[in-house]
Structure 1
Amino acid sequence: MMPLPAAEIRRAVRIGLHEDLGDGDVTTSALFSKRVPAHASIVAQHSLIVAGLSAAVQTFLAVDPALTLTVLRHDGEPAEDGEVILTIEGDGRSILQAERVALNFLQHLSGIATLTHRFCQAVKDYPVIILDTRKTLPGWRSLQKWAVALGGGTNHRYSLGDGVLIKDNHLALLQGGKTSVRRACQLAHRKAPQAMSLIVEVETLAEVRHALAGNADVILLDNMTPAMVRQAVKLIGHRALVEVSGGITLQNIRAMAAAGPDRISIGALTHSAPAADLSLVLTPLPPARRRRA
């Protein structure tokens, strides 16, 4: 699991607040000229895996360090419908100014963690791991991959420098497509860093044979049916790890897992996860509590 990307969270919070608050909050400034003591709760509107709470906390404190925050659910923990995950007390103007950015972090990242958890639960009976991909929002990769890990998934390559992965367009570019999968593997073994695993993407059983002949460490079966995956797994016979990818959904992932791969990579974890539904409920503090606040 990726560690908490603290530096990336600070950077993202800074950028998010600059986008949303860089020109001030004209509505709040027009309505409230003085401090308004208030209490807020962030509430889950359905069952979810919490992710992005660290970023939300930093957002509120970046706007107003005097705010008092109480964390009730931590990153990576489940929250049920109606459950409060964070409370905030202090100047209501500050809470309003941080609200949208804080919720954006929570909703997007909790959505990724929750979807990842659903995929992991769907194949929990099989010895297969769920991987993410590089299909991430520019500038958000660390945060999105962190959310995948919080949901129980495993991080694949973080960048192009993290491993050798020969894909169809690499083959198309090599000598106008005349280089075989086997030849591409041999070139990569010769010139790439020796410590790195060699992954090669294939689409047919014939290409599986070429990948085996090229001593690929991982053979990535792209857009194959479960029946084809089963044939490929039998052909490979533990001579390489087997990964499947392409068109993986919650409806077909169990069939894919049952076909026997070692891992399943899913771009949808980061590029198509629906936002989690969380809301911030804000109320002014009663006079008695205002005096104590």
Structure 2
Amino acid sequence: MSTETAQSIPEEVIRRLIDQAFQEDIGNGDVTTDAIVDEYAQAEACWKAKDEGIVAGLEIARQVFERLDPQLEWKPETKEGQRVSAGSILTVMQGATRALLTAERIALNIVQRMSGIATRTRQYVAAVGELDTVILDTRKTAPGLRLLDKYAVKTGGGQNHRMGLYDLAMIKDNHIIAAGGIAEAVEKVRRYAPGLDVEVETTTLRQVEEALGAEADIIMLDNMSNKLMQKAVKKINGRAKTEASGNITLHTVREVAETGVDYVSVGALTHSVEAFDISQTLQQLK
């Protein structure tokens, strides 16, 4: 898999994300808050979890609030990657009331999405349990949020697949058609990008044999039955890494992992996110 991970997100990426979020949500100003709240008013805000799951993205939320109030006091009561129960306090902050209200939705959107991804990922990792199979994400991320989505997967205990089209060559069905075959496709990629790992998508045992003959580094077993995957894993016999893919759910991932595949990739970790519910409560300070 990709050697580049989303363990840490570059500061410029976070700044750019916050810039864009402020532009689309605040624009020329928060008319409601600015009309109601005195410019110098101070308040305390508390974030409380309304779900059980894994927390991710708190540091980014802090930077969102600090963009409007650099003097904000941020007092987290949970750690990144920590499992929390409903009712748990995630963080308490004190600062300008206007900043706490205006930045609330942007910060919550980020943390709720990232925590939802981390929570779902942890569920898949737990389902696989003691097996050696690794849960992977995919490129099915929200445009502009890939590094955040993939960071959240790591926080939940999964691993990142390729970060983009540039760090792993994945030869899919249409590439095979365009190249004239698996062997031809692999050979062209090896010539164009020597040293880069090559993965080949297969749907039949014959294609698995062709991918082995072409010395692919990773062979994807796409939408295969568990019985067929078992045969494919036995045929590959460690000569390439194996990845199961294709509509794998939380209810089926254990059986898929038991076929002996090295990786299971799950698009639903990031393309069908269920937001982790968090509430913000404000208390005006004198």
Shorter-chain TM band:
over 0.9
What does 1:161-172 align with in structure 2 at a 5 Å threshold? 161-172=166-177
Structure 1: 5+ residue stretches without partners: none
Q: How does 1:10-49 map to 2 (within 5 A)?
A: 10-49=15-54
How far apart are the structure 2 equivalents of 1:284 and 1:43?
17
In structure 2, give the amino acid aligned to 1:180: G
The runs of 5 or more residues in structure 2 that have no matched partner are: none
Distance 1:27 1:197 in 2: 53
Aligned to 1:183: 184
| Candidates 142, 148, 152, aligned match of 2:147 | 142
Counterpart of 2:13 in structure 1 is: 8
In the alignment, the residues of structure 1 paired with residue 33 and residue 40 of structure 2 have an alpha-carbon distance, to the nearest angstrom, of 11
Which amino acid letter does the alignment assign opposite residue 266 of structure 1? Answer: V
Q: Which residue of 1 aligns with 2:105?
A: 100
TM-score relative to the length of structure 1: 0.92
- 1:146-178, Cα deviation, whole Å (9 max, x unpaired): 11111111111111110111001111223xxxx
Shift of 1:2: 2.4
Separation in structure 1 between the aligned mates of residue 101 and residue 120 of structure 2, nearest angstrom = 29
- Secondary structure at the counterpart of residue 162 of structure 1: coil
Q: Output the amino acid matched with 2:250.
A: L
Tell me, in whole angstroms, the C-alpha distance in 1 between the residues paired with 2:102 and 2:278: 17
Quote the offset at 1:34 in angstroms: 4.4
Q: Deviations over 1:216-250 (max 9, x none)?
A: 11110111111111111111111111111111100
> What is aligned with 2:270?
270
Verify the 8 A CA contact 2:37 2:97 in the aligned structure 1.
Answer: no
Q: When the two structures are aligned, how many residues end up with a matched partner?
A: 281
Distance (Å, rounded) in 2 between the aligned partners of 1:71 and 1:167: 44
Shift in CA distance, 83/206, structure 1 to aligned 2, threshold 3 Å = same
Deviation at 1:89, TM superposition (A): 1.2
Equivalent AA in structure 1 for residue 135 of structure 2: I
**Aligned-pair Cα RMSD in Å:** 1.3
- The residue matched to 1:29 in structure 2 has which SS? helix
Q: How many angstroms apart in 2 are the aligned matches of 1:261 and 1:147?
A: 23
**Match status 1:56 vs 2:61:** yes
In structure 1, C-alpha distance between the alignment counterparts of 2:284 and 2:219, rounded to whole Å: 59
- Identity across aligned pairs (percent)? 41
Are 2:100 and 1:90 aligned?
no
Q: Secondary structure at the match of 1:90?
A: strand
Q: Which runs of 4+ in 1 moved over 3 A?
A: none
SS at match of 2:147: helix
